[in-house]
A and B are shown apart, each in its own frame.
Chain A
């Protein structure tokens, strides 16, 4: 018979289902097939947007800032101060945009998740596979930006090689909790809130464009609690080389890493549960 299905009966025993990693990678590979169609459109905005930011803020605004002395910035030119933060903002934005509408749409618009749940994948595998894809997007955008930073001489330390994992971690700290929550969202309009009340204020007040010490005292603890502040502080310490200058600096770096890892892991764990709650009812 030409057609490849069997005429004889099913096996007496069920096949063994593969492990979680294998299943997550399967889901990732499927995202790659879909990404092949759309990467051009998203690549332009996500790569050049941050570059324009860096040009305008770093060099344009920076020329004014630098005239007034850069002691508060740690003695480096403003563009060097701001570049690692723009990297983190980009990682955050990529993390959010790769999780908000794509997760919502996978349930509502093109039913990717509903197709996937009928296969060997479990809801948690679907979640993890999608997060892997988000990680890939964050890493790609960050890598482009880091290359530009290096080319313009904005990385002042060899620790700069760790910028990529640091930016990735920052992006994931946003992506995994967002994905875990968005899967439970029923109204499309709700998706605006995380950007309007989350990403935008964070971008402005997390020690990105100016040191948090310039904020009024009462608001500083809030800034210190945000993932973007941890990401920006970590990346800045890596690119200016202060990350391991003293034990205190190393300890702060370790705290940043723990915070970001913890948040990413929490989001992933939560995602396993919320995806199950939505895809296995």
Chain B
């Protein structure tokens, strides 16, 4: 997959503004960004269900506009909003979807058994989809997207709205797929998800890519190894921020409810904070995450 200057406009509004990226076989590639960054618009173009407004896009050596049907037959897609047929049973959903790809009934049945096993929905095979929980529906959508044995799996926010346990199940399954050589493209606004799953990722903001690299690279490039998080009583934050600035930290971010101090060694800096007589309500030293990278790049937090 290769994109150069990929652009999507809706009327006068530019949802994706000339992004470039390359995606290699067998890797897991992430698009990280806040609401409205243009992730889903990009995924729809990659899924060949939305024509690019400008730029080049090549998928599996094909042109998405000209070879759309052929490319789509080799893709698996998990859209942001589930598109399951809630009146049908779990098994029927897979049957219908497999038929769209023209697979023979026997093969569909065989794969259905394996896939339901894979996403742990075997017991619900005969049940209607309607009453399934959000996490089960998400897993079913993932199973369904694999019915055609895709080369590339495109997942738009695969775990949004799931509880932590359900998210871990999904991560586990996706990791498993990656091990089997399926190329993954996913969007998320969870930093931990991106760190867990992605070999490489791009950070999108306001329709553009603001940084690209491996999670480690990005952290090394845009953040310090450790972060000191301090919370203060209401009103005390500003004064404290000024005082901490005097201690000349590598970088300082003041968000709505906390101060983030970037330092190579968090504990050492905390000791200096104490020595300066600054008392916070809570103090936490942690490793830098992609959240900090994002904050640095955009001046905003992702999920707040």
Q: Which residue in chain A gives the minimum CB-CB distance to B107? A: A4
- Assembled-state Cα–Cα distance A259/B114 (Å): 52
How many angstroms between the C-alpha atoms of A4 and B115 in the bound complex? 9
Q: What's the nearest-Cβ distance from chain A to residue B287, in Å?
A: 34
Q: Tell me the complex Cα distance, A11–B95, Å.
A: 25
Q: Which of B85, B97, B150 contacts A110 (CB 8 A)?
A: B85
Distance between Cα atoms of A110 and B111 in the complex (Å): 24
> A121 with B85: in contact, given A6-B149, A26-B99 (CB under 8 Å)?
no
B298 within 8 A of A: no
Residue of B10, B72, B107 with highest tally of chain A CB at under 10 A: B72
Given contacts A110-B86, A115-B97, A120-B100, 16 further A-B contacts (CB under 8 A): A1-B180, A3-B115, A10-B152, A14-B67, A14-B70, A17-B67, A17-B70, A17-B73, A26-B100, A29-B99, A30-B99, A112-B85, A117-B49, A118-B77, A119-B100, A121-B100
Measured in the bound complex, the distance between the Cα atoms of B79 and A11 in whole Å is 25
CA distance in complex: A2, B111 (Å): 10
**Is B102 an interface residue, CB under 8 A from the partner?**
yes
A80 to chain B, nearest CB (A): 42
Asked if residues A119 and B72 are in contact (CB atoms below 8 Å), the reply is yes
Which residues on A sit within 8 Å (CB–CB) of B71? 14
B28 nearest CB across to chain A (Å): 15
| Interchain nearest-CB distance for A7 vs B (Å) | 5
Q: A221 at interface (Cβ–Cβ under 8 A)?
A: no
From 1 to 26 in chain A, residues with beta carbon under 8 angstroms from any chain B beta carbon are 1-18, 22-23, 26
Complexed CA–CA distance, A7 and B151 (Å): 10
Q: How far is the CB of A19 from chain B (nearest CB, A)?
A: 10
Residues on the B chain within 8 Å of A16, using CB: 70
Interface string of A13-45 (1 = CB under 8 A from B): 111111000110011011001100110000000
Q: Is the CB of B69 within 8 A of A17?
A: yes
**Bound complex: CA A270 to CA B83 (Å):** 25
| Complex-state Cα separation, A111 to B83, whole angstroms | 5
Across the interface, B146 reaches (CB within 8 A) one of A5, A23, A30, namely A5
A-B contact pairs, 28 of them (CB 8 A): A5-B149, A5-B150, A5-B180, A9-B25, A9-B26, A9-B181, A12-B61, A15-B74, A17-B69, A17-B73, A22-B102, A30-B99, A30-B100, A33-B88, A34-B87, A34-B88, A38-B87, A110-B86, A111-B82, A112-B85, A114-B79, A115-B84, A115-B85, A118-B49, A118-B72, A119-B101, A121-B100, A280-B49
Asked whether any CB of chain B lies closer than 8 Å to the CB of A230, the reply is no
Whether B18 is near chain A, meaning CB under 8 Å from some CB there, is: no
Which chain A residues border B30 with CB–CB below 8 Å? Answer: none
Interface magnitude class on chain A:
35 or more
Q: Residue A118 contacts which of B79, B102, B114, B115 (CB distance < 8 angstroms)?
A: B79
Q: Give min CB distance, A16 to chain B, whole Å.
A: 7
Q: Is the CB of A26 within 8 A of B102?
A: yes
Query: What is the CA–CA distance of A4 and B149 in the complex, to the nearest angstrom?
Result: 7
Docked pose: A12 CA to B99 CA in angstroms: 24
Least Cβ–Cβ distance between A8 and chain B, in angstroms: 7
The reply to whether A5 and B83 form a contact with Cβ atoms under 8 Å apart is: no
Residues from chain A with a CB closer than 8 A to the CB of B87 are: 34, 37-38, 110
- Scoring B10, B86, B87 by chain A CB atoms within 10 A of each residue's CB, the highest score goes to B87
Q: Within 8 Å CB of A23, what residues of B?
A: 69
